[in-house]
Amino acid sequence: MTGLSMLPIGLTLALAASSSAFAQTRHNTDAPIDFAAQQIELQDRANRVLLSGNVRITQAEMTLTAARMTVSYTGQVVDGSPQVSRLDAAGGVTVSRPEQTARSQYAVYDLNRRVITMVGAVTLRQGANNISGGRLSIDLDTGRATIDGSGVRGGATPGQPGAQSSGGRVTGRFSVPKRSGQ
């Protein structure tokens, strides 16, 4: 095969390898959720709690921070506590897991589906690798992170944290191993 005919095969292998760079191990979604905020407002009749001011949620090894958050829960009480079903975060949202950090304007953590969806100026970073797009979905059971260009507007510089692509495209940069002695 010629070098040019090998290009599609090489690109396919490179993309397959790079997508696994953003895979994580399974998250313990059954772990309790701890929170801290400057202010809390309990809206019991609406089955929700409003947290505001440097909100920090921790579950096992994952941390979610935002300016404000709405915690929705069911009316069902188990072991003396209502069951949290959903977290809606807004304002400088960051989700940190071991070796991986994602940032956006908004995020929804659906505890029943065990999925976090982030939208608005999304960036995903793992080591020197980073990707920017419009929407990120993190499946906490499988560790799979999927990013697309939905809702993305503006100019882009690939690989720049916070950069957005034009035309609804995902942009990014993958690091490559350094060669020694060359």
3-class SS string, 30-61 = CCCEEEECCEEEEEHHHCEEEEEEEEEEEECC
Give pLDDT, residue 82: 80
Mean pLDDT of 118-147: 92
**Averaging pLDDT over each range in 11-20, 90-99, 144-153, 173-182, which range is the top one?**
90-99
Mean pLDDT of 162-168: 51
Give pLDDT, residue 109: 98
Q: Which residue has the tokens 């956006």?
A: 104
137, 121 Cβ separation under 8 angstroms: no
Q: Of 12-21, 45-54, 59-68, 127-136, which range is least confident?
A: 12-21
What single-letter DSSP state applies at residue 167?
G
Q: Answer with the residue of higher pLDDT: 55 or 182.
A: 55
Mean pLDDT of 64-70: 98
Residue 107 has pLDDT above 90, yes or no: yes
Residue 65 has pLDDT above 90, yes or no: yes
Q: Answer with the residue of higher pLDDT: 80 or 106.
A: 106
* Domain residue spans of the chain: 13-173
141, 148 Cβ separation under 8 angstroms: no
The CATH homologous superfamily of the domain defined by 13-173: Lipopolysaccharide (LPS) transport protein A like domain (2.60.450.10)
CA 71, chain centre distance (Å): 18
d(CA 29, CA 124): 21
Q: Which of 102, 130, 135, 133 is nearest to 117 (CA)?
A: 135
Give pLDDT, residue 136: 95
| E strand or H helix at 105 | strand 100-110
Give pLDDT, residue 182: 59
pTM (global) more than 0.85: no
Mean pLDDT of 148-156: 58
Give pLDDT, residue 15: 37
C-alpha R_g of the chain: 19
Q: Which of 130, 117, 161 is nearest to 21 (CA)?
A: 130
d(CA 86, CA 96): 18
Q: Which residue has the tokens 């977290």?
A: 87
